[in-house]
A and B are shown apart, each in its own frame.
Chain A
Amino acid sequence: MADHKHSAKQNSGHAFVRAEDAPLLPPPATEAGLTGWLWQNIFASMADFSSAGASLRSACVAALTVFLLYFGFAQIYTLLDFGVFSAVWSDPDELKREACWTVDQGGGLPSGWHAACWPFIYAKHKFIMYGAYPSEELWRVNLSVLLGIAGLAYVLIERLPRRREVGAMMLTLYPLLCFILLTGGNLAIPFGSIGLWLIIGLAVISLGRLAKRGFLGSTLSEFHALIGLTGWAFVIYNTVRGFGAVDFGLEPIDTRDWGGLLITLVVAVTGIVVSLPLGIILALGRRSEMPAARLICTVFIEFWRGVPLITVLFMASVMLPLFLPEGVNFDNLLRALIGVMLFSAAYMAEVIRGGLQAIDKGQYEGAQAMGLSYWQSMRLIILPQALTHVIPGIVNTFIGLFKDTTLVSIVGIFDLLGAGQSAIADAAWSTPVQATTMYLYIAIIFFVFCFGMSRYSIYMENKLSKSRQH
């Protein structure tokens, strides 16, 4: 810098040539600092008066801004006042409904008071979280939920080793564990039959091994994979049944006693866990080259997507008992679960189909050129790319499913909303504000879940679009 100044002086030798750099001017007020921020984010949009039309537009924007500021803050204030400032937070004298009564109604609060009655929520908290689940057995629910959160967190945090294996466990072992914990397991399945089928399965697996080595002739050796797979299917199915039949000493709890957030989570998690594999199979079927498979999958998907979930739940609760042989009777929750599974699988299939369609044709051809079979190319080449591609869509489907679980309350299952509705009907807490308080509380719970998931989906979307740019 000093060098430069020196040389400039030397070279010119004229007094009118500037010898020093002009001082830096501050940036214009509209570009920097608080005023710049205010100008760019608020006032620039209403400062164009260059023509009659532009002036009108600016005036409208200004009016809208003022109105929205007022309206927005009024709403926020109303919400905060209802939920926090004016709310009744405690009920030390166990007055129940009278704690939230105004003078006109015979209570102690000023006339015209209208705000949340939180003691009502404390009193009903166990009910809207767990339903009628026995209090001394709540640790089973809590343990299931904690394990689920821990597993989910492990899978979501990148850089942790063996995420894939943990994820697989979450989709297979975890539901089984939850089933045993929540219902108590101890199903009435005779161990003899399970043992018999297990032995048969193991025998079939060893048969497959033998066939692979060519001990059983060339014809059967072609089928070793099929034989092995059948054997594994027997073994896995009966292991699951075996775990269900073991008496772990847990008290059996009927699903009629379940309720609240527990049911919401059970329905949502079941729908999510089942809809993914089922959706993958349906999506592959719909894009298959076999016309019969394509037709069947298309009809299945379009049927479930064409009708509202409510009608599916009605159908599951009214018609399913007619479809099943006599003596087979599902409980109410299982019926609703079946409806939710079929419904969400159809939606998931369409999301996954979008991912399959987005994969370049060269990938399919490349996989074929490598000599991979259909299932190998799907498992190793196509599906990993397609599923990664549609993670945001899958998460959005989960959000939709999570919100849709509220509909089971219409067919008489006390999910979070259903439990809330029945808590509102309690006359011991009858006040004009109890419905609004309950809805506010449930809305906050749903918002936290859904907003969290949608943030994750946006995060994945950004990450994926970055990785695709290379």
Chain B
Amino acid sequence: MSFSAFFYDKRLRSVLFQALLVLSIAFGFFWLIENTVSNLSDQGKSVGFSFLSQTAGFQISSTLGTWLMKYEVGRSTYLDVYFIGIINTFVVAVLGILAAAFLGFAIGIMRLSHNLVIRGFATVYVEMLRNIPLLLQLFFWYFAVLRSLPSRREQTELFSGIAGINITGLYLPAPIAQSGFMIVILVFIMAIIGAVMLSKWATKRQYKTGRTFPAFWAGLGLIVGTPLVAFLALGSPLDWSFPEFKYTGPLLRRGFQSGTGMVIVPELIAVWLALSLYTAAFIAEIVRAGILAVAKGQTEASYSLGLRPGITLRLIVIPQALRVIIPPLTSQFLNLTKNSSLAVAIAYPELVSIFAGTALNQVGKEIEMIAMMMTVYLTFSLLTAAFMNWFNARVKLVER
């Protein structure tokens, strides 16, 4: 074998190239690690996660995370701070996903309306919101809108005084569970399981006998009705703590009294508004494209089989549209979750803000903390990707 034949052997070339590639990447990593180690030793720093058990010495504004982790300055550790960050990211992501999906579907369907007013409104909404950076929208909601609310000694009453809003946040009545409330929750969970089983049974019976059963309404009744009955039977085991506002008294004591009601910090409201309004514009486009992707012949064929428009939409159009909609929709949900990190700009205490921001400035363990933060987002992305693969495999068109 001459040298040139050897050189042009496809397999050998590929092995050679890959070996070179792996070696150079390994060398690059080695170089980075070596630099890092020498830089860290110059700065007198060590690598390790022992800082996680140190106590954190900074205040975090009260949110679901601090409430769940019972955060206390000087007693809670940096690990608690990490979890508070994750919980708060999760809160804003879940709230945002719910609102964005709802609004996005509504706007997406409105964009297909035959009514010019409805269609035009939806088009203007989409074009305006998605062509302006999210961070700018966030600043607008936070600095221009929520900062112009009444000051902390004044309020705007909502729902005739049950709730109120001012610059320190939105104050709502807080539910306080009494003994026996756990039973209601248990009943609620069992009702959901029962409804699922009911709908399975109804489908099975319909396949066997052809007789239909109003499983949706029955299930809804089960889910709403049974816990309600249990709740009333147990003598309403839920108390409400209403936010208390003092207009009089010493100046510094005026305003919402701490310990009463439940506060939603304005940062959360701003992030939630900005994220859900922005993402809804993208979801609307996805929904529109998904519905348009269903061939018109499908609807016509369904009508010619004698199905009513509502049933056509439910059984023919939506299932096929969802096949197109769900993958990009999931990635929009993922985007929303990742974009929740922008909350760092207005100091909502989510993961990036308190862990990679405040805590990092205090501890100075850049590598460990940034890695921990990235792990959270990466895990979430990989889980979403796994779900998407599973879904795509499930709904894939089975072709002849």
Contact = CB atoms under 8 A, between A and B. Distances in A.
Interface in A433-470: 435-436, 439, 442-443, 446-447, 450-451, 454
B360 A439 contact: no
B121 interface: yes
B95 interface: no
A222 interface: yes
B382 interface: yes
Contact of A41 (B3, B115, B148): B115
B136 A319 contact: no
Interface in B327-385: 338-339, 341-342, 344-345, 352, 356, 360, 366-367, 370, 373-374, 377-378, 381-382, 385
A325 B128 contact: no
A293 B16 CA distance: 12
Given A222-B7, A305-B381, A307-B374, A289 B39 contact: no
A308 B18 contact: no
A451 B131 contact: yes
Contacts of A44: 114
B161 to A, nearest CB: 26
Interface string A286-325: 0001111100100000110111111100110011011111
Given A218-B4, A311-B377, A318-B366, A46 B115 contact: yes
Nearest to A408: B135
Contacts of A42: 115-117
Given A40-B114, A72-B121, A222-B3, A322 B370 contact: no
B133 A446 contact: yes
Given A323-B35, A421-B139, A439-B140, A68 B118 contact: yes
A103 interface: no
A302 B135 CA distance: 24
A55 to B, nearest CB: 14
Contacts of B399: none
Interface residues of A, number: 63
Nearest to A451: B131
A171 interface: no
A325 B366 CA distance: 17
A441 B35 CA distance: 45
B131 A454 contact: yes
Contacts of A446: 131-133, 136
B124 interface: yes
B32 interface: yes
A310 B42 contact: no
A410 interface: yes
Interface string A395-438: 00001000110110110000001000100100000001001100
Given A69-B117, A315-B370, A322-B366, A442 B35 contact: no
Nearest to B334: A306
A296 B23 CA distance: 12
A325 B268 CA distance: 41
A296 B25 contact: yes
B133 A318 contact: no
Contacts of B131: 399, 403, 446-447, 450-451, 454
Interface centre among A289, A290, A306, A432 (most CB of B within 10 A): A306
Interface string B201-243: 0000000000000000000000000000000000000000000
A326 interface: yes
A436 B144 contact: yes
Interface in A22-40: 40
A410 B116 contact: no
A208 B399 CA distance: 54
A318 B115 contact: no
A169 interface: no
B22 A292 contact: yes
B398 to A, nearest CB: 20
Contacts of B377: 306-308, 311
A219 interface: yes
Contacts of A292: 18, 21-22
Contacts of A64: 118
A65 interface: yes
B42 A326 contact: yes
Contact of A439 (B116, B144, B310): B144
A310 B352 contact: yes
A45 interface: yes
B366 A407 contact: no
B282 to A, nearest CB: 10
Contacts of B116: 41-42
B190 interface: no
B153 to A, nearest CB: 18
Given A326-B38, A436-B144, A45 B132 contact: no
Contacts of B3: 219, 222
B115 A293 contact: no
9 contacts: A42-B116, A46-B115, A69-B117, A218-B4, A222-B4, A290-B14, A308-B338, A318-B370, A407-B342
Given A296-B25, A436-B140, A447-B132, 14 more contacts: A45-B118, A46-B115, A65-B117, A68-B117, A72-B117, A310-B341, A310-B344, A311-B370, A318-B366, A321-B39, A403-B132, A417-B133, A421-B139, A454-B127
Name the 4 nearest CB pairs between A and B, nearest first: A306-B381, A450-B131, A292-B18, A308-B338
